[in-house]
């Protein structure tokens, strides 16, 4: 079971508000705690247009990593003329080191189901899917129990709260590919096809599952929707930063351990890292001999999972939100924040991340299939001490080309580890390339290959 | 349409006249040289003699001269004694072997007609019935088939293709994309368990991340494949 980290009292709790419940699948307890009030309000007081307007006023953005405004998706799906519409909750959580979506589904399945029902009501969809990993057995079990109970009580099913609308919610466990976290890939998997992304536009909100308008939302986005309807758009907009309000679940890993925390968007990165034991940011801090992990000075923060960026300690005051992170060369991504101390080598880290991204590429487009592989090979050459003189230039050019010709965000972001490494840790790369030495002592570049031999 | 005498000849002559005044494509060859890219070598073609045998005696001169190294070839030497081939061994290995067979006049095995192992069709029929022969639920069908047989036998895939109407190639492509689906019988239980438990690349990543953060020298992410996750 994943540890939920204690956050400061001042930070609001939206997604994990009902986390302490005895039994997450107990519908009566959940209703007593406030579940399905939002759905009732949406159905009886607001109606589809007012729901979308409320979500738009709250400024809610998708928690899947890209931060697309939720209300725009819903509006596009509702405006597209089609015989059927679908809502898909994306709880796949592709990053193997991050269990935020799974934890949310385990602790509060009713919030996701309620959000799904509200989204279905807003765009007039009759069928909804919750996709998650097949190996998340506990989450699947709880979700199925919760859906059964909610159907029994009439919150979903053939007659939603006596309004005559029908909504079938089904759990669809998928597995077998990292790329399933991407929305068009997930839709392909739900259609029973091989998981390769599609060109956009048309966005799934216009042509998605089985060619019908489909709203694909992260489970965290959907879980925030009922809260917005109950507490009002202004209350939600007041939380977090102005451009991206609300809270998000992050998986923090630091010297004191790892865990999941709910943080308001816009929180400085340093405050989030502090949840997992903090960071000794002093550059000259000397590691105590033979001591545990906590005594090493922070070197870099990996933000965004396998395709994330490596940020230096100087940038610890960067607000954790979609636009600010993109600007400094990282992204929200899977919600993973990993603190790397002096023992880690930047080249080694970037090599591992890029290799993973290249291995997991779906193979649809050439820049991704071959480009990320070449980037990973350049990194390997640097790490073993046989770089070519043009390698850094090649790395820069290749990354730019891959980004420019990319089909989906996976390949665009797979260039980030090296791009941010070159941007912030140039001296460490130069140590590898020019002096054949690894400051952290991780890589073992062949000394003879540097300068002298050529 | 009514018959107008002479219309056909007018149409025909019209075309002739139009062509007559168009710019000419003919050039006076030895005096005038056509504008051709300098690497162009014309159309590659193997010629046959009057007995229908290939004239090519596999001397590889064309392959050596080829400026972009696009020629790879194989065949039997002129005395018919042994097999010879040209081309980087790591590129187009499969294709070259096949084309070498073809050029040397031997039969080329076609995997599509290769013998495949028979299966007991009852489990897969039951699965298809359960999922209503619906190609949209192909992933569930494939996962259930793998659970029933331990892997995805060719015979089962053909049966699924026949019953659902989905092309065999599409089913094969889908099944080969997802890492948890496999076409071969798991060789031993340990490997099958590992495959089922978690995908190898994910484990490589997790253990690799642990190792990278902890510092210690390591030879590469691949080395940690066999390590147990904590």
- Please name the residues between 20 and 39 in chain A that touch chain B, using a CB distance below 8 Å: none
- State which residue of chain B sits closest to A362, comparing Cα positions: B177
Q: Do A193 and B212 touch (CB under 8 A)?
A: no
> What pLDDT sits at residue A288?
39
- Contact call for A348 and B214, based on CB within 8 A: no
Task: Tell me if A203 sits within 8 A of A79, measured CB to CB.
Answer: no
Query: Which one has a higher pLDDT value, A162 or B230?
Result: A162
Nearest to B179 by CA among B205, B150, B200: B200
Partner residue opposite B217 with nearest CB, options A178, A362, A442: A442
- Nearest residue to A26 (alpha-carbon basis) of A202, A145, A158, A164: A145
SS3 at position A4: strand
Q: Which residues of B touch A189 (CB under 8 A)?
A: 139
Secondary structure of B120-184 in HEC code, one letter for each residue = CCHHHHHHHHHCCCCHHHHHHHHHHHHHHHCCCCHHHHHHHHHHHCCCHHHHHHHHHHCCCCCCC
Tokens of A13: 């709790």
Continuous segment of H or E residues that includes residue B102: helix B93-103
| Cβ–Cβ contact B202 with A under 8 A | yes
Taking the CA of residue A118 and the nearest CA in chain B, the distance in Å comes to 26
Which SS3 state, helix, strand or coil, does residue A167 take?
strand
Using DSSP's 3-state secondary structure scheme, residue A20 falls into coil
Question: What residue spans in chain A does CATH classification 3.40.50.11540 cover?
Answer: 27-237
* The CATH number, out of the four listed (3.40.50.980, 1.10.3720.10, 3.40.50.11540, 3.40.1360.10), of the domain defined by the range A27-237: 3.40.50.11540
Assigned architecture for domain A240-280+294-343: Roll (3.10)
Name the segment(s) of chain A with CATH classification 3.10.20.600.
240-280+294-343
Contacts A356 to B, Cβ<8 Å: 201, 204-205, 208, 221
Q: Is the pTM of this model over 0.95?
A: no
Closest-CA residue of chain A to B205 = A356
CB contact under 8 A, A192 and B170: no
Query: What is the rounded CA–CA span in Å between residue A446 and residue A138?
Result: 48
Which regions of chain A carry the CATH code 1.20.1440.230?
A: 345-454
- Tens place of pLDDT per residue across chain A (454 aa): 578 888 888 888 888 877 776 778 888 888 888 888 889 888 888 888 999 999 999 999 998 878 889 999 999 999 988 999 999 999 998 888 888 999 899 888 999 999 999 999 999 898 999 999 988 888 999 999 999 999 988 888 888 888 888 899 999 999 888 899 899 999 999 999 988 998 888 889 888 899 899 999 999 999 999 999 999 899 999 988 888 899 999 999 888 788 899 999 999 998 898 888 765 544 444 443 334 444 678 889 999 888 999 999 999 999 998 999 999 999 998 889 999 888 888 998 999 999 899 888 888 888 998 999 999 999 998 888 888 888 889 999 999 999 999 898 888 899 999 999 999 999 998 888 888 888 888 887 765 444 444 4
Torsion angles phi and psi, residue A155, rounded to 5: -75, -35
Q: How much is the ipTM here? A: 0.83
A135 CB within 8 Å of a chain B CB: yes
- In chain A, the residue whose alpha carbon lies closest to the alpha carbon of B213 is A344
Distance from CA of B176 to the nearest CA of A (A): 9
Find the residue in A nearest to B197 (Cα): A135
Does the distance separating the beta carbons of B201 and A97 come in below 8 Å? no
Nearest-by-CA chain A residue for B140: A192
- Measure CB to CB from residue B206 to each of A96, A351, A440 and give the nearest one: A96
Closest in B136, B201, B202 to A191, CB measured: B136
Which tops the pLDDT comparison, B104 or A171?
A: A171
Which residue of A84, A277, A352 is the best one to mutate when testing the B interface, meaning the one whose CB has the most B CBs within 10 A? A352
pLDDT for B223: 39
H or E stretch covering A264: strand A257-264
Q: Considering CB atoms only, which of A191, A193, A352 is closest to B208? A: A352
Give the separation between CA B65 and CA A25, rounded to whole angstroms: 74
Among the partner-chain residues A135, A194, A355, the one whose CB lies closest to the CB of B174 is: A194
Interface test with A, best of B164, B215, B216, B221 (most A CBs within 10 A): B215
Contact in structure between A59 and A244 (CB atoms under 8 Å): yes
B169 lies within 8 A of chain A by CB: no
Q: Any idea where the domains of chain B sit in the sequence? A: 61-109
Of B173, B212, B221, the CB nearest to A344: B212
What beta strand segments (E) does chain B contain? 73-76, 83-86
A356 in contact with B, Cβ within 8 Å:
yes
Which residues, listed in sequence order, are joined to residue B84 by a DSSP beta bridge? B75
pLDDT tens across A15-37, in order?
887 777 677 888 888 888 888 88
SS3 A133: strand
* Range A345-454 classified under CATH 3.55.50.30: no
């Amino acid at each position: 079971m994943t540890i939920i980290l204690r956050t400061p009292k001042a930070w609001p709790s939206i997604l994990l508000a009902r986390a302490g419940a005895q039994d997450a699948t107990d519908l009566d307890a959940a209703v007593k705690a406030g579940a399905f009030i939002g759905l009732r309000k949406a159905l009886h007081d607001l109606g589809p247009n007012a729901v979308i307007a409320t979500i738009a006023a709250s400024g809610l953005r998708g928690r899947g990593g890209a931060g697309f405004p939720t209300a725009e998706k819903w509006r596009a799906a509702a405006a597209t003329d089609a015989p059927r519409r679908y809502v898909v909750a994306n709880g796949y959580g592709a990053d193997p080191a991050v269990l935020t979506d799974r934890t949310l589904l385990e602790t509060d399945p009713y919030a996701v189901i309620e959000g799904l029902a509200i989204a279905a009501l807003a765009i007039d969809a009759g069928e909804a899917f919750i996709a998650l990993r097949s190996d998340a057995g506990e989450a699947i079990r709880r979700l199925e129990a919760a859906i059964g109970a909610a159907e029994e009580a009439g919150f979903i099913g053939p007659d939603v709260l006596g309004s005559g609308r029908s909504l079938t919610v089904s759990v669809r466990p998928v597995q077998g590919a990292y790329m399933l976290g991407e929305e068009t890939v997930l839709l392909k998997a739900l259609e029973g096809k091989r998981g390769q992304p599609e060109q956009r536009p048309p966005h799934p909100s216009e042509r998605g599952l089985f060619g019908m308008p489909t709203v694909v939302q992260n489970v965290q986005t959907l879980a925030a929707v009922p809260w917005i309807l109950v507490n009002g758009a202004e209350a939600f907009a007041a939380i977090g930063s102005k451009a991206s309000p609300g809270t998000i679940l992050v998986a923090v890993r630091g010297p004191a351990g790892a865990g999941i925390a709910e943080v308001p968007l816009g929180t400085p990165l340093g405050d989030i890292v502090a949840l997992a034991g903090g960071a000794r940011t002093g550059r000259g801090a000397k590691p105590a001999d033979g001591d545990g992990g906590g005594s090493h000075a922070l070197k870099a923060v990996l933000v965004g999972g396998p395709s994330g960026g490596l940020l230096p300690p100087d940038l610890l005051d960067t607000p954790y939100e979609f636009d600010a992170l993109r600007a400094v060369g990282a992204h929200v991504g899977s919600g993973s924040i990993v603190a790397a101390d002096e023992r880690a080598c930047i080249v080694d880290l970037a090599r591992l991340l890029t290799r993973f991204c290249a291995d997991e590429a779906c193979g649809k487009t050439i820049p991704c299939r071959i480009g990320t592989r070449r980037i990973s090979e350049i990194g390997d050459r640097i790490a073993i001490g046989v770089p070519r003189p043009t390698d850094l230039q090649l790395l820069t050019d290749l990354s730019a080309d891959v980004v420019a010709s990319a089909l989906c965000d996976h390949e665009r972001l797979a260039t980030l580890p090296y791009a941010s490494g070159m941007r912030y840790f140039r001296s460490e790369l130069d140590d590898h390339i020019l002096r054949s030495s690894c400051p952290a002592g991780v890589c073992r570049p062949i000394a003879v290959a540097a300068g002298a031999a050529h | 349409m009514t018959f107008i005498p002479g219309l056909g000849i007018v149409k025909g002559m019209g075309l002739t006249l139009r062509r007559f005044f168009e710019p000419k494509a003919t050039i006076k060859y030895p005096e005038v040289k056509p504008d051709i890219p300098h690497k162009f070598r014309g159309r590659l073609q193997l010629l046959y003699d009057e007995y229908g045998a290939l004239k090519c005696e596999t001397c590889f001169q064309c392959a050596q001269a080829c400026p972009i190294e696009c020629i790879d070839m194989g065949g039997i030497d002129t005395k018919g004694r042994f097999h010879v081939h040209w081309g980087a061994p790591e590129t187009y290995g499969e294709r070259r072997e096949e084309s070498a067979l073809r050029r040397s006049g031997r039969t080329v095995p076609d995997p599509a007609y290769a013998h495949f192992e028979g299966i007991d069709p009852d489990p897969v029929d039951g699965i298809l019935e359960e999922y209503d022969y619906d190609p949209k639920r192909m992933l569930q069908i494939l996962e259930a088939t793998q659970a029933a047989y331990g892997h995805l036998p060719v015979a089962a895939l053909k049966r699924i293709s026949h019953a659902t109407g989905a092309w065999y190639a599409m089913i094969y492509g889908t099944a080969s994309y997802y890492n948890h689906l496999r076409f071969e019988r798991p060789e031993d239980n340990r490997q099958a368990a590992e495959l089922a438990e978690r995908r190898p690349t994910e484990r490589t990543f997790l253990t690799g991340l642990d190792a990278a953060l902890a510092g210690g020298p390591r030879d590469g992410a691949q080395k940690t494949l066999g390590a147990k996750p904590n």
